[in-house]
Structure 1
Amino acid sequence: MSDVTSIAAPKTLSKADTVRFCAAFLIFNLCWMLGLQIVAAVLLPQRLADIAPDSKDAIFGVLNSATALASLVSNLVVGNLSDRTRSIFGRRSPWIASGGVIAGISLFLIGILPDGATIGVSYCVAMVGLNMMIAPIVASLADRIPDNMRGTMSAFISAGTLVGSSLGQIVGALFITTQVPGFILAGIVMGISGLAAVIVWPRERSSKDMPEVKGSLKDLLASFRPPTHGARDFWLAFVGRSLLLFSYYMILNYQLYILQDYIGQTTEESAATISTMSLVLMVVSLISALAAGPISDKIGRRKIPVVIASLLLAIGYALPWLLQSPLGMILFSAIGGFGYGMYGSVDQALNVDVLPNEEEAGKDLGILNIATTLGQMVGPIVTSAIVVATGSYGLVFPTAIVLVALACVFIMMIKKVK
């Protein structure tokens, strides 16, 4: 662990600390994604379909726009403030623990609120709480993890996220006709994710002895400025990450509607297909994520997994477009999921590698994490806009293919990372 008077990452970790960090990153990401996907991928779309069947796509798009904005602002603000936090519990841990409680309560409330407006407010608060956890967790990669182990840690982050996503869809499908217990479970799992992280990983040392960041309100506001000097690779990574995640979540977050409205399945049939897709996705993405990250560390390369992942994602997007069947969506989960797991395994490591100034890791990684938020929230907005404009999902898949190809181009332009 790093010295409290220094923000530089340690050169090495003990075996015990390595295991605890791996476990903490895995458990944290599994839990928050499990809770979120129970709601975002299944229960929220179905709830909107129940209360507003004629305008569900438009409402879902508006909700995603609002939560994207809430996530964008909170990720940047919390990343910056966690850099400045001085407490006996460290800089990151207080934000992580409290964010889980806020996110868990507000995620549960979505299941009992009566209309789209109040659901939207609660969903936005949930995203604020979620980003109170994610921004400090990712910043810890820069100040607590050696640079030659970041690919491995990123693999555990990705594995937890992917398994949590798959399990969330499976669990959500089980509650599709009895939704309130599903929302309760989602809130509980989300709430314990932050607490689990700070308990499992090696205790963060007190930051009270670190030099305080002093200055006026004007100085504080100025500290939120995005990096500019030596930040070319940083912004290429931001754009590439955003585009790739746009493409993936265009389909993933709309899979229920795609199965029902594009392929023609009933509610029960679509729930069964989502369960199958999720099992497939969980297996293939776990294998690719846990394999690609350590291999990336060993060979010292980040770009090769990105190129392979982009190709696999493009193939995965094409299959449901060409087949227009449940099999096409299952193959999307298999091939696209393997590619996404491979990309996710080096994603956070690549982000840390392109930081222009590690002294501002929390703030700058908060900006890069906005790309994740934008992908998860704006991707479905793009899908919603296409469906509302054309009345069909036919153009969603080729649009996703174009976006992932562009993402690969931007990431390959990065010079700092091999």
Structure 2
Amino acid sequence: MATANFGLSMALIVPMAYSLALRVDRLAPGREETLGYILGFGSVLALVSGPVVGTLSDRTRSRLGRRTPYLIGGAALGLAAVLVMAWAPNVVVLGLGWGLASLGWGTALGALLNVKADRVPHRLRGKVAGLTGFTMQIAPVVGVLMVGAVSGSGLLVFLLPGVVGAVLLVPFLLFAREPDGRSRAVPDRLGAAGLLRSYLFSPRAHPDFAWNWLGRFAFFFGQSSSTTYLTFLIAQRLEMPLADVAGIVAITGGISIVTTTAASLGGGFLSDRLGRRRPFVFAGAAIFAAGGLVLAFAGTLPVLLAGSALTTLGISLFTAVDQAIVMDVLPERETAAGRHMAINAFSQKVPGALAPLAAPALLAIGGGTEANYTALYAASALLALLGGSLVLWRVREVGRDNSWQPVATAPPPRRTFPSAASTRPEDQ
């Protein structure tokens, strides 16, 4: 699963981070804003389609299972879109190609997340979430280095990440096959109203999922606000041209590999070992907040690097362990896991779109000639801390009895009949 996640993440993220920028520069030189329009179109398409595809996946009854058809179909669409982007004669066709690519690779990644929710038992969720979180962070770094070596080829900068994604998916399809899904109960007919309901859930019926969603929204709003402007912050504080910041950004990228490895793998494994997840999520938010405050007042390169290291450490720890919490509190796991995983994705994707739009208001505080990055990064720190606090104090640990208290590490006593008070099935 981690290998497949690595490949699909590379196929989706590398074009956003590198390949599309090269193609836009060739088709529309000097029009950098075009890249934003293309990326925005793909993001909206993937966001809107997520719950619908998740609902259809939940209802699929096939010999290959519920998720495998979407893994195969998504990867096939992504590969086809690679050729559209590579040979696009203008930016309109390029945008359409990226829309297809984001829909295809996004569908495949979503299906892989659904497999994780379906099949990973509670005792392993932290480890698996840590491994997949780690591979998702590392894949773009490896992918950009790979396509950077063939940057002169308009075809290979798109084709290589896509081929790697498809090839690394094959072992998962061969050796982790889903059971035949044709014997599952056939759901009721899905109409237009059912599709509209796929975007909604009941916070009253599923409070843990709702509070965790809100905590994630606050955290990722703060995270998106800060990471978007890191390059500009470094240039302002060190009083250097923006073009000269690339070397420092590369250093921060190298540091992030170390922090991501430590936080994703260490946090995921420890949360399983100790049977507690909320403290790790709060710790990730607190570490990010500390890094944000360091960046808010940093004036030298060592302090900037330290702040960046703390923020990436916090992001990785929060993301890895909270993904395990998502699987713990997922509503209607047996019948609607795909739909709710897509709804959960809104808690990260919507802040990623809104935060850069809200940031200018904070940057303008004080009315000076320079952007107020102190206000921006301080606000980001507070939002992240709020998100971690919501998860810590409002989301129940899931384990022996779904109580509000930390989960004991000893296995639960065997029950001879299901508890009427339990709203979530035991899957230890």
Q: TM-score, normalised by structure 1?
A: 0.79
Q: Do the aligned residues in 1 keep the contact of 2:282 with 2:385 (CA within 8 Å)?
A: no
Correspondence for 2:424: none
- 1:208-223 counterparts in 2 under 5 A? 208-215=182-189, 217-218=191-192, 220-221=194-195
Higher alpha-carbon deviation: 217-226 or 231-240: 217-226
| Mapped pair 1:31 → 2:31 | no
- C-alpha distance in 2 between matches for 1:239 and 1:105: 36
SS at match of 1:90: coil
Correspondence for 1:407: 387
Return the letter of the residue paired with 2:206: A
Return the letter of the residue paired with 1:313: F
- C-alpha distance in 1 between matches for 2:249 and 2:47: 29
- 1:109-188 counterparts in 2 under 5 A? 109-110=84-85, 113=88, 116-171=91-146, 181-188=156-163
Report the identity percentage: 21
| Mapped pair 1:363 → 2:339 | yes
| Mapped pair 1:226 → 2:200 | yes
Higher alpha-carbon deviation: 26-35 or 74-83: 26-35
Q: Cα distance, 1:299 vs. partner?
A: 1.9
Q: Do the aligned residues in 2 keep the contact of 1:313 with 1:339 (CA within 8 Å)?
A: yes
Return the letter of the residue paired with 2:103: V
Correspondence for 1:323: 298
Higher alpha-carbon deviation: 221-230 or 319-328: 319-328
Return the letter of the residue paired with 1:277: T
Unpaired runs of 5+ residues, structure 2, are: 398-405, 407-428
Correspondence for 1:18: none
Q: Do the aligned residues in 2 keep the contact of 1:31 with 1:189 (CA within 8 Å)?
A: yes
- C-alpha distance in 2 between matches for 1:108 and 1:398: 44
Return the letter of the residue paired with 2:280: P
- C-alpha distance in 2 between matches for 1:278 and 1:207: 43
- C-alpha distance in 1 between matches for 2:153 and 2:236: 22
Return the letter of the residue paired with 2:392: M
Q: 1:364 to 1:371 in 2, by over 3 A?
A: same
Q: 1:69 to 1:166 in 2, by over 3 A?
A: same
- C-alpha distance in 2 between matches for 1:380 and 1:110: 26
Correspondence for 2:377: 397
Correspondence for 1:17: none
Q: 1:370 to 1:127 in 2, by over 3 A?
A: farther
- C-alpha distance in 1 between matches for 2:143 and 2:302: 21
Q: Do the aligned residues in 1 keep the contact of 2:232 with 2:242 (CA within 8 Å)?
A: no
Higher alpha-carbon deviation: 288-297 or 190-199: 190-199
Q: Do the aligned residues in 1 keep the contact of 2:235 with 2:241 (CA within 8 Å)?
A: yes
- C-alpha distance in 2 between matches for 1:329 and 1:50: 34
- C-alpha distance in 2 between matches for 1:289 and 1:99: 27
- 1:236-275 counterparts in 2 under 5 A? 236-252=211-227, 264-265=240-241, 267=243, 269-275=244-250
1:264-296 Cα offsets, whole Å, 9 max, x none, are 4565x5444343322221122112111111211
Q: Cα distance, 1:188 vs. partner?
A: 2.6
Q: TM-score, normalised by structure 2?
A: 0.77
Correspondence for 2:45: 70
Return the letter of the residue paired with 1:314: A
- C-alpha distance in 2 between matches for 1:64 and 1:396: 24
1:204-241 Cα offsets, whole Å, 9 max, x none, are 11111212223252564365252215222212211222
Question: Larger C-alpha radius of gyration, 1 or 2?
Answer: 2
- C-alpha distance in 2 between matches for 1:63 and 1:333: 28
Q: Do the aligned residues in 1 keep the contact of 2:364 with 2:372 (CA within 8 Å)?
A: no
Unpaired runs of 5+ residues, structure 1, are: 1-23
| Mapped pair 1:276 → 2:251 | yes
| Mapped pair 1:205 → 2:179 | yes
How large is the RMSD of aligned CA atoms in angstroms? Answer: 3.5
Return the letter of the residue paired with 1:140: V
Aligned length: 391
Q: Do the aligned residues in 2 keep the contact of 1:78 with 1:131 (CA within 8 Å)?
A: no
2:63 to 50, 74, 88: 88
Q: Cα distance, 1:89 vs. partner?
A: 1.0
- C-alpha distance in 1 between matches for 2:191 and 2:313: 47
- C-alpha distance in 2 between matches for 1:399 and 1:118: 39
Q: Which has the higher contact order (CA 8 A, sep 6+)?
A: 1
Q: Cα distance, 1:120 vs. partner?
A: 3.2
1:331-368 Cα offsets, whole Å, 9 max, x none, are 34422222122112212211122223223111111110
Higher alpha-carbon deviation: 132-141 or 383-392: 383-392
- C-alpha distance in 1 between matches for 2:353 and 2:168: 21
